Amino acid sequence: MITSVSRSAVDPLKHNRGGRLHVLLSPKTVGTSAGFLGTFALSPGEVFLKHYHPYSEECFYVVKGEVVIEGDENTLVASEGTGVFIPKNEPHRLRNVGTEETVLVFFCSPLAPSPDQGHVMLEEAPSTTA
C-alpha cells in the first residue's frame, strides 16, 4: 500500500545534537526496509554536532536557506536547490551561518541494525549549566 506521512504529524526527535529532526518515512512510521527520510531544520547560528554514519550513506536536498557542511577532508556550502552526498563513515558537522532558517530533506540508506547505531557522535553538546 502507498503511504504518506505529514511533517506536522511527526514530533521532532528529542536529542541534544542540534537542529530539529523530523523522521517521516522509517521502519517505525511506514515499514521501510531500505532507508529513512525526513526533514532537518537549523536556526541561524545553530550547529548539528560532528558525527558519522557507520552503516548508511546520507543524501541532503536544501529546500530553504544555506548550510555549511564541514567534513574531515573538505568543507562545502550548499544553498537552496542543491543536493549533497555524504558517504558512510564520513565525519561531518552541519552549520547554519546565514540569517534565516535552513531546511533540508535527508535520506539515509541502508538502515543501521538499530536506530542507536545509526549515528556515532564525535562531539558532545555544550553543558547548559552555569
Q: What's the DSSP call for residue 13?
A: P
Q: What pTM was computed for the model? A: 0.90
DSSP symbols for 74-118: -EEEEETT-EEEE-TT--EEEE--SSS-EEEEEEEES--SSGGGS
pLDDT for the residue 34:
93
State the Cα–Cα distance between residues 36 and 110, nearest whole angstrom.
8
| Contacts with 72 (C-beta within 8 Å, 6 or more apart), sequence order | 90, 91
pLDDT for the residue 128:
57
pLDDT for the residue 16:
82
- Per-residue pLDDT of the chain (130 residues), as tens digits, is 999 999 999 999 877 889 999 999 999 999 999 999 999 999 999 999 999 999 999 999 999 999 999 999 999 999 999 999 999 999 999 999 999 999 999 999 999 998 889 989 999 877 655 5
Backbone angles phi and psi of 7, in degrees to 5: -60, -35
pLDDT for the residue 15:
79
pLDDT for the residue 49:
95
- Spell out the domains of the chain, with CATH numbers in brackets: 14-57+65-121 (2.60.120.10)
- Please answer whether residues 39 and 61 qualify as being in contact, where contact means their C-beta atoms are separated by less than 8 angstroms: no
CA end-to-end span of the chain: 52
State the Cα–Cα distance between residues 44 and 98, nearest whole angstrom.
6
Select from 90, 59, 55 the least CA-distant residue to 74.
Answer: 90
pLDDT for the residue 84:
98
CA dihedral sign of residues 125, 49, 22, 79: positive
